[in-house]
């Protein structure tokens, strides 16, 4: 199965429902989602971003008791290893290979990552209360 690069784009904000319409695009499809961004509607918020992972453990997400779930996606060309503290290594972490993603539901502790070298990107999408 061929993998296709994915690009997340924020399309528009709808103030009437306090939400953003988000499109996730690759060469074969466009997926649209509505993400609640405030206290109305679904009652939570969502944020997304990128973190650069290096050859030493770096915190991708801090502890957050309001976090409902987190999705991590490896957008680099190498494996990134995921762990729950700063002692994670390429030998002890959970491997997240190129273009793979993982979801952590109901875990509100820190999430760390490490790679074999610097300059590798991981994207995250977090849902909070």
Same domain assignment for residues 59 and 38 = no
We report the CATH number of the domain holding residue 79 as 2.60.120.770
37 in the same domain as 50: no
Statement: residue 113 has pLDDT above 70: yes
- Can you give the pLDDT at residue 1? 46
Q: Are residues 66 and 35 in the same domain?
A: no
| 8 Å CB contact between 54 and 63 | no
Shared domain check, 63 and 36: no
Domain residues for the domain of 107 are 45-128
Distance in angstroms (rounded) separating the CA atoms of residues 94 and 13: 36
pLDDT in the model for residue 10 = 47
Residues 52, 114 share a domain: yes
Residue 101 near residue 76 (C-beta atoms within 8 A) = no
| Prediction pTM value | 0.67
- pLDDT mean over 27-53: 67
| pLDDT (average), residues 89-101 | 96
CA distance 120 to 52: 5
Nearest C-alpha neighbor of 99 from the set 22, 5, 29, 8? 5
Which range among 25-39, 43-57, 86-100, 103-117 shows the weakest confidence by mean pLDDT?
A: 25-39
Q: How many distinct structural domains can be found in the chain?
A: 2
What is the chain's mean pLDDT, rounded?
A: 80
The answer on 73 and 30 residing in a single domain is no
């Amino acid at each position: 199965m061929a993998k296709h690069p994915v690009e997340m784009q924020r399309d528009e904000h709808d103030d009437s429902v306090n939400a953003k319409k988000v499109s996730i695009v690759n060469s074969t499809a466009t997926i649209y989602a509505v993400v609640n961004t405030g206290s109305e509607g679904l009652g939570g918020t969502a944020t997304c971003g990128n973190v650069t992972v290096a050859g030493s453990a770096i915190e991708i997400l801090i502890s957050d008791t309001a976090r409902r779930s987190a999705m991590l996606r490896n957008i680099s060309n190498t494996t990134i290893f995921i762990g729950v503290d700063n002692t994670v290594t390429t030998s002890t972490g959970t491997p997240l290979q190129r273009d793979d993603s993982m979801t952590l539901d109901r875990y509100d502790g820190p999430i760390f990552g490490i790679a074999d070298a610097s300059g590798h990107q991981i994207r995250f999408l977090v849902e909070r209360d």
